[in-house]
Structure 1
């Protein structure tokens, strides 16, 4: 019975968090639209305007990252419960986008504390640093042309 209660509670918490985030974003958008001349007087207004216009993490990027993060919430919950879960590339990309380029309160609107956000970002940064190098290019001949493919990769009859 308890195992059925956890997903329902988690889903309810995510729905409430999404609603809170939507309301706060709407409030921010309304304030920017109502007072464009105030942007020159307040530096924080300039930062908000830059985010809304897509400079360094635009509104669309932030909301896409938030939606991606919602899709990997199970991974994150397991990560904090047992510490052994693997957070996928898309999940880490969303975490980095939100923590580096979006509003600081976006993670907290999903129910994560600032400390948990730092832990997630640290894990994802470490994973990115430990990622395997990209595929090596094909070896070249002394003339600079690509070397012939090995016999196993050649088409029959060649």
Structure 2
């Protein structure tokens, strides 16, 4: 693995989630995916019926930036050929859930705000990181905006693993 900055895009079937009254956690997870810079998409469930967005671990690197951004993909699917852009998806904040050494200088990483908010943050230097790489749970808090400016906020909780 070559150390580099990482971009994680939260793909959201925004209309489905937005229009649902009090959507369950599973409903939200079923209508979200994570896309990495290489084009790979993490979505769906594994053979144990667990959501891949919660089970797969995204590798990040010491002293490199991680950027989270959101995108509406419409209702059809997560592939680029089916995407629509009727809603805006803002990444409001990233909150880390690890009880111990943190991979970043803060537990709460605020976004840039607005209808297209993003979060970009640099991981700690290798010398400041804990020993062995470990799975690291975090929460992505995101807001969906409709064309009238109405908004609703949701959260999902995937995992990272950092390498020195």
How high is the TM-score relative to the length of structure 2?
0.22
How high is the TM-score relative to the length of structure 1?
0.23
- Select the structure that is richer in helix: 1
- Select the structure that is richer in strand: 2
